[in-house]
Amino acid sequence: MSLRIHNTLTRSVEAFEPLDPANVRMYVCGMTVYDYCHLGHARSMVAFDVVQRWLRVSGYGLTYVRNITDIDDKIIKRAAENGETIRSLTDRMIDALHEDADALGIARPDHEPRATEHVPQMLRLIGLLQDKGLAYRAEGDGEGGDMNYAVRRFAGYGKLSGKSLDDLQAGERVAVADGKQDPLDFVLWKSAKAGEPDDAKWDSPFGTGRPGWHIECSAMACELLGETFDIHGGGADLQFPHHENEIAQSEGAHGQPLARYWLHNGFINVDNEKMSKSLGNFFTIRDVLKAYEPEVVRFFVVRSHYRSPLNYSDVHLDDAKASLKRLYTALSLVNQTPAADTAAIDWSHPVAARFKAAMDEDFGTPDAVAVLFDLASELNRSRNAADAQLLKALGACLGLLQDDPQTFLQAGAGLSEAEIRQQIDARAAAKASKNYAEADRIRQALLAQGIALKDSPTGTTWESV
């Protein structure tokens, strides 16, 4: 096993040495389900889908957990605005999440826990923190105050983000007016507020209320994967404070490392700003899929390294579409091969070995994709079925190239197959009668509708542009 991973905790690329190679345990922070997923969410889902695929291809057993946050301030606010229950809103948004993820070829995680189904575990964890002197009730609020985490009592705070308490204190502008002992402290259990709906409240030893966001992930991760597991992942924006707070909670309660390797994917940027709902510069996955095939969007994400920023624009998606078509065009040159079987890849093959070396170096998809294009160029020359099968199998490691080539190349056409074939036949008749002007007119008319004709000795075929 030669896999190396960039560990945010140590800020270096390290050899991957799991606790149990037969059962690698990975937790990834999922979505807060109050609205449709945007491309920033797609970036994270695709990135960790590639990670889980490569771990399995590499022979590791894997338990993959990606949670769902189905209770928080934004969810409560949106449900109230819509005049619906929290459960109605979150169920609907989870269904939409699954539709979007399925379209992008993202495998479902082994476990997808909902925060609302793990409140007892969260309460036990808060109780442990209280017993260890790391949690306290907000001052002046009596029995109904928030439960907070005392950041300065945890010696390791800041080790993931590299932030010192002094730096954080200097940048803290919030006055201690909410019963906190220190402005850096964060909430573990929020006391119920007047006007909040009943479905946003739970009874607890700490008063009626609901969990804070950070405690949700600590409880779900440790419940499903144990107090120490192999990989914890998420977007770069979660590194601080969310993941830093997870470490403080989990390690403060259990006295051992939460995760051995921390992976963070980069942002998708629009005009050099992070794509986010709060900035209002986001594009939902389903809106983008109205204009582009799902595999094009996936390829757009995969061909960049997961830790690098990724700039969104129609120009970049158009380029991704053209590039992916080159790979499918190469596959279309040979008779359809059987379904790709990654287990059958001969990793001693020079091309496969180059692909593996790229992926083993911190999931290096840009270099792995370059190998696919080199193999496609060879396939264009060789028309060799074995090369086609290898291209398809290596593509499967990234969740790519599993469609029928003609189906992909013809996707998005503005006319039906029968209408296009009728025009192709009319053009052939025009050429046969030496009416080349009419034949050219038909070609140009089809091209204007996004359909490109391709002539060959065996006849005329077409693909969308």
Residues 422 and 397 in one domain: no
Peptide bond into 257 cis (omega under 30): no
Q: Give the structural domain span for 99.
A: 4-132+215-274
User: Is there a domain that residue 302 lies in?
Assistant: no
CA distances (Å), 454 to each of 131, 248, 446, 460, 464, in order?
A: 74, 61, 12, 6, 11
Residues 123 and 242 in one domain: yes
**Given strand 147-149, what is the order of strands in its sheet?**
135-137, 147-149, 186-191, 209-211
Residues 85 and 224 in one domain: yes
Q: Is the pLDDT of residue 142 over 50?
A: no
Cβ atoms of 311 and 283 closer than 8 Å: no
Cα separation, 334 vs 209, whole angstroms: 62
User: Is there a domain that residue 264 lies in?
Assistant: yes
Residues 460 and 435 in one domain: yes
User: Is there a domain that residue 198 lies in?
Assistant: no
Instruction: Give the model's pLDDT for residue 414.
Output: 65
Residues 321 and 453 in one domain: no
Q: Is the pLDDT of residue 417 over 80?
A: no
Annotated binding site for ATP: 277
Residues 121 and 40 in one domain: yes
Both tokens assigned to 219: 């409880």
Of 274, 300, 323, the residue that ends a domain is 274
Residues 128 and 263 in one domain: yes
Residues 233 and 98 in one domain: yes
Residues 104 and 80 in one domain: yes
Which of the residue ranges 26-40, 131-145, 247-261, 395-409 would you say has the lowest mean pLDDT? Answer: 131-145
pLDDT single digits (tens) 334-347? 986 677 788 899 99
User: Is there a domain that residue 426 lies in?
Assistant: yes
CATH of the domain at 346: 1.20.120.640
Cβ atoms of 18 and 63 closer than 8 Å: no
Cα separation, 242 vs 66, whole angstroms: 15
Strand partners for 65: 27, 111
Annotated binding site for Zn(2+): 29, 217, 242, 246
Residues 375 and 423 in one domain: no
Paired sense of beta strands 451-456 and 459-464, if any:
antiparallel
Instruction: Give the model's pLDDT for residue 175.
Output: 45
| Angle, alpha carbons 278-184-118 (nearest 5°) | 70
User: Is there a domain that residue 270 lies in?
Assistant: yes
Annotated binding site: 29, 217, 242, 246, 277
User: Is there a domain that residue 348 lies in?
Assistant: yes
Cα separation, 407 vs 96, whole angstroms: 25
User: Is there a domain that residue 160 lies in?
Assistant: no
User: Is there a domain that residue 20 lies in?
Assistant: yes
Instruction: Give the model's pLDDT for residue 233.
Output: 98
Does residue 448 or residue 313 have the better pLDDT?
Answer: 313
Both tokens assigned to 9: 């905790």
Both tokens assigned to 452: 């490109």
Residues 96 and 219 in one domain: yes
CATH of the domain at 222: 3.40.50.620
Cβ atoms of 106 and 301 closer than 8 Å: no
Q: Is the pLDDT of residue 172 over 60?
A: no
pLDDT single digits (tens) 109-124? 999 999 999 999 999 9
Cα separation, 144 vs 146, whole angstroms: 7
Residues 242 and 388 in one domain: no
Instruction: Give the model's pLDDT for residue 434.
Output: 83
The residue type found at 21 is P
Does residue 161 or residue 447 have the better pLDDT?
Answer: 161
pLDDT single digits (tens) 282-334? 899 999 999 999 999 999 999 999 999 999 999 999 999 999 999 999 999 99
Q: Is the pLDDT of residue 177 over 60?
A: no
Question: Number of structural domains, the chain?
Answer: 3
Mean pLDDT of 65-81: 97
